[in-house]
Amino acid sequence: MYSEKYALPEDTTEAELLELIHRLNADDNIHGILVQLPLPKHLDDKTIINNILPEKDVDAFHPTNVGRIMIGDFDFVPCTPAGIMELIHESGVEVEGKECVVIGRSNIVGKPMAMLLLHENGTVNICHSRTKDLKEHTKRADILIAAVGIPKFVTADMVKTGAVVIDVGMDRDENGKLCGDVNFDEVEPIAGAITPVPGGVGPMTISMLMKNTLTAAKRAHEKKVTK
């Protein structure tokens, strides 16, 4: 794979960033465009993402790609949920019929994660900051996915014995040490399977970005051949 990196100054204007995106949209040698989020406050994430061609949107954040995920007819999936599904499949875990709880409702992880589990016939419950009696929900989960952004938020008393626990968090604990949303030391003895932080979901996210880019290149090649 060939890549180009554009490290723009913080005071880059929206017009300047859009000009770069439009240039990359028109470049047949570039099959995937990723804008690192969050952007500086004077730039609107939605405007920037909406200007990336859907067929080059390898993050799968464009409304067209989001809509296709909803109906189950998609080429790209946001990289973290896609990586989680790969982990589940490679571990031999069946989603169908399982109680699946996702803590977090972001557009990047929580919402698309729920849709992917639903497409595989999981019974999905999305929990968030306004959920009452959170523990009552998480204790029923056969598959528990934590994407809340709070260090060691999920503790042993929130987890069903034998559950698959997937930690999306990338946090720092009170000692400044990298950790996840799950209190790993507490939960690991009772979980049937659990992902560590670091080294769990993170590498899968990167791998799925590469996979999406390869898919985009294949689709572009197919278009050329059929013209």
225 pLDDT more than 90? no
Class in CATH terms, 9-59 = alpha beta
- What tokens were used for 179? 């950790």
Phi, psi of 127, rounded to the nearest 5 degrees: -110, 155
SS3 74: coil
Equal CATH topology for 9-59 and 79-202? yes
pLDDT at position 58 is: 97
Structure tokens at 168: 């999306």
Tokens describing residue 39:
């952007």
Domain map of the chain by residue range?
Answer: 9-59, 79-202
pLDDT tens for each residue of 19-46: 999 999 999 999 999 999 999 999 999 9
Q: What is the reported pLDDT for 223?
A: 86
Mean pLDDT value of segment 3-29: 97
Could you read off the pLDDT of 156-186 as tens digits, one per residue?
Answer: 999 999 999 999 999 998 888 999 999 999 9
Does pLDDT of 227 surpass 80? no
Note the pLDDT tens digit of each residue in 53-86: 999 999 999 999 999 999 999 999 999 999 999 9
Cα–Cα distances (Å) from 92 to 86, 140, 144, in that order, read: 10, 20, 16
What pLDDT score does 224 carry? 83
Fold of 79-202: Rossmann fold (3.40.50)
Alpha-helical segments (H) within the chain: 14-25, 45-50, 63-71, 79-90, 110-119, 134-138, 184-187, 201-226
**φ/ψ bin of 107: left (φ > 0), alpha (ψ from -120 to 50), beta (otherwise):** alpha
Query: 118-137: per-residue pLDDT in tens?
Result: 999 999 999 998 999 999 99
CA distance 132 to 69: 28
Beta bridge partners of 33: 57
Report the pLDDT averaged over residues 87-112: 96
